Amino acid sequence: MRNGNRDKRVTSGMLVSVIALAGALGACGGGASNTMPREELGDYFTMRLEGGSMQLKLEGNRLYGPNVEIVHDGDAFRGRAYGAVVDLRAEEGKVTGVIGSARTDLHVEGGEGVRVHFQGLVAGQLTDIDLSPAGLTGTVGKCGHDLKPTKDDPLSFNGRRACSGAFRFMTLVLPKALPALSPPERAVYLALLLVR
């Protein structure tokens, strides 16, 4: 009988180890991997984090998705995002306005392709983001980002996002139309995605 109890303990101990290993492997990015082909992603901003994802569709002068509906008309970006009214204006090298009751005041620099650097306030949160072919780095509020491009898609980035000290694996896929957008458009759309 003594050996029978020992075998049960070993077997149950092994089962616990297998379950723990499977959980650890799943937490290593299983929920954040980019398994969809680029063609199926279309013109979407897609942000995947462990435990969830966010996708915003870019269609003409409109950016929309769950809890986001923004229309770009002339120099204005208006609509709603995450339950807050969005009223932003783009001027030479600047984006100003409000998201909800919080001020947005960004200084924007752009370049060819996807390049954009914006810093200032987004919805009242200190922001400094740099996007280039080498990656996306910087902060929005309490969240820092350090993403590098994937080998197979120059508009897809993998890396880490740290919010208040908690690190999570992150995948960011940008729309094919992004290089054709103006620097203020790139800044506003990225800010609306990353501020969440």
- Number of CB atoms found within 10 A of residue 23's CB: 11
pTM (2 d.p.)? 0.77
Count how many residues are written for the chain.
196
The two tokens of residue 130 are 């740099």
CA angle 170, 173, 178 (to 5 degrees): 140
Torsion of CA 81, 196, 64, 75, to 10 degrees: 70
CB neighbour list of residue 126: distance below 8 Å, 6 or more residues apart: 120, 139, 141
φ and ψ at 188, to 5 degrees?
-60, -50
Between residues 19 and 103, the one the model is more confident about: 103
Evaluate if residue 37 carries a pLDDT over 80. Answer: no
Average pLDDT over the chain, rounded to an integer: 83
Domain boundaries, the chain: 1-32, 36-194
Confidence of residue 4 (pLDDT cuts 50, 70, 90): low
Give me the sign of the Cα torsion angle 130, 133, 135, 140: positive
Evaluate if residue 5 carries a pLDDT over 70. Answer: no
DSSP 32: G
**Within 13 Å and on the Cβ side, how many CA atoms surround 48?**
17
How far apart are the C-alpha atoms of 25 and 111, rounded to whole Å?
A: 39
φ and ψ at 8, to 5 degrees?
-65, -40
Confidence of residue 92 (pLDDT cuts 50, 70, 90): confident
